[in-house]
Amino acid sequence: MLRIALPVAALAGALLFVSAGASSAERAVPIPAPAADVAPTKGPQVAVLAGGCFWGMEAVFQSVKGVQSVTSGYAGGARGTATYDQVSTERTGHAEAVRIVYDPHKVSYGTLLRVYFSVAHDPTQLNRQTPDVGPSYRSAIFPQNADQRRVATAYIAQLTRAKAYPKPIVTKLETGAFYPAEAYHQDFFWRNPTHPYIVRWDKPKVTAFRNAFPQLAN
189 neighbors 209 (Cβ within 8 angstroms)? no
For residue 39, give the nearest of 200, 178, 148, 149 by alpha carbon.
148
Handedness of CA 189, 194, 195, 198 (dihedral sign): positive
Alpha-carbon gap, residue 53 to 215, rounded angstroms: 26
In 53-145, which ranges are continuous DSSP H helix?
A: 54-62, 84-87, 109-115
Give the total residue count for the chain: 218
Check if 25 is active-site. no
Catalytic residue among 53, 95, 98, 181: 53
Cβ count near 146 (within 10 Å): 9
Q: Which residues participate in catalysis according to the annotation? A: 53
